[in-house]
Amino acid sequence: MQPATTTLWRPTGPKELELVRRLKWLGRPPRLPEQPIFSPVLDEDYAIKIARDWNVEHDGAGFVTRFELETAFSSRYPIQQAGGRTILELWVPAEELDDFNAHNVGEIQVVREFH
């Protein structure tokens, strides 16, 4: 039986998306030294806004990816409110990303694309 999952979204630019593709859509690449946390979001509309408004301006394109994470595992990360009521994120320390990736269920999917 498959574990219960939580749906998460991640807005990203083309460089990070290429790294996810190289990982066969099964995980996220290591963070850069200036990126101490990985922050997937809990609301698709928030992910769309970041991909459309920030990634397109800074990277020329923005993508929204969706993935499933084991709910029991996701509960170790308290939900962070990064702004308004629907601006909710999980803050995953960079050094825990391999463990985080191990609890993904299925492949990461691109669900929106902006140019």
Q: Is the pLDDT of residue 84 over 80?
A: no
Task: Check residue 1 and give its pLDDT.
Answer: 76
Instruction: Output the average pLDDT for the chain.
Output: 94
Per residue in 17-57, pLDDT tens? 999 999 999 999 999 889 999 999 999 999 999 999 999 99
Q: Is the pLDDT of residue 89 over 90?
A: yes
Place 86 in a pLDDT band, splitting at 50, 70 and 90.
confident
Edge-to-edge strands, sheet with 62-70: 5-12, 62-70, 104-114
Question: What is the distance between the alpha carbons of residues 67 and 40, in angstroms, rounded to a whole number?
Answer: 10
Task: Check residue 32 and give its pLDDT.
Answer: 87
Task: Check residue 3 and give its pLDDT.
Answer: 86
- Decide if domain 5-114 falls under CATH 1.10.150: no
Domain residue limits, the chain: 5-114
Task: Check residue 83 and give its pLDDT.
Answer: 79
Closest CA to 63 of 115, 4, 104: 115
